[in-house]
Amino acid sequence: MIDQDDQPIGGGIGLGIYRTSSQTAVLAPGLLSNFNDKAGDVDDKPNGHKAGSSHSATIGYAENYRLNLPDTLNCAVPERKTYDLIKRIVDFVAATFFLLMLLPVFIFIALSVKLTSKGSVLFRQTRLGYRGKKFTCYKFRSMVVDAESLLRRSQNLKERYHEQGFKIKNDPRVTPVGKILRKTSLDELPQLINVLLGDISLIGPRPIVPDELVQYGQFAEKFLSVPPGLSGLWQTSGRSETSYAERVRLDMTYIDTRSLSLDIRLMFRTLSCVIKGAGAH
């Protein structure tokens, strides 16, 4: 049952995914069923449910947002309770350590942003976290102050934004200092605060804005079943150079294979990508 004060997640496009007063994502029945261009129904659902049913593991896909994802992707979410507990402890300790150790870097970047362009030092944006809970994601501001309003007003920018997977290459709204921060991924450092607060993990699927959830089709609930991450398999596998369909596949692969050993390997790959500036725009 959806209360009157419940708000839809996903830009109001009728996904049937709602935020309740308890901050939990609930899936409504009567979801859209179109998902894959090559198949009408996807049969690999838990308990034999097909796309378009009211089962919570199946989320329909709007006609204009289809992805050519392999039917072999699994909607089920493997439980790893011990792993999840250890991971949260590691996240808290590591985030505390890095925030203290990198304090001089934070101060230097904050001054650079403040002295070279108008506006606040931090950029705040609403993202979707574990089980669809909304949280404020922090980044060092790398764009001009009215960047989001410029995007809404410019048809050209909006088209490029959606065509390029919610990113814009050579974005004219990015400041000179912002270009350096983005290339080195230093604009992401304030997300250590989100890790400390438990909004995200060090490693996990990339946190998304609500409008992006439609891109995950029937795998949306699975995507929301684990905490998002500061870095992860997609972030270290080409990042902005990959298609959104590939991003979904990588996120689902991580959820299926996540482990402490994989997280450690991805942390080292993250360092390598940051040094090389791989996939960053």
Residue spans of alpha helices (H) in the chain: 81-101, 103-116, 147-153, 155-163, 176-184, 191-197, 220-223, 244-257, 260-276
C-alpha 21, offset from chain centre: 22
Distance spanning both ends of the chain, measured CA to CA: 42
Q: Which of 111-120, 231-240, 270-279 has the highest mean pLDDT?
A: 111-120
What is the number of other CB atoms lying within 10 angstroms of the CB of residue 48? 9
Alpha carbon separation from 270 to 88, 102, 216, 248, 281 (Å, rounded): 19, 17, 24, 19, 15
117/112 Cα distance (integer angstroms): 9
pLDDT digits (tens, 9 = 90+) for 231-273: 999 989 877 778 888 999 999 999 999 999 999 999 999 988 8
What is the number of other CB atoms lying within 10 angstroms of the CB of residue 188? 21
DSSP three-state, residue 129 = coil
Query: Residue 53 above 80 pLDDT?
Result: no
Share of the chain above pLDDT 70, in %: 69
Contacts of 156 (CB under 8 A, 6+ apart): none
31/219 Cα distance (integer angstroms): 13
pTM (2 decimals)? Answer: 0.69
Average pLDDT score, the chain = 75
Which two tokens mark 145?
């102050």
Contacts of 206 (CB under 8 A, 6+ apart): 228, 229, 232, 234, 235, 247, 251
pLDDT given at position 36: 34
192/125 Cα distance (integer angstroms): 15
pLDDT given at position 65: 35
pLDDT given at position 272: 87
More confident site: 280 or 69: 280
Q: pLDDT grade, residue 125 (50/70/90)? A: very high
Which sign, positive or negative, has the C-alpha torsion 153, 157, 159, 164? negative
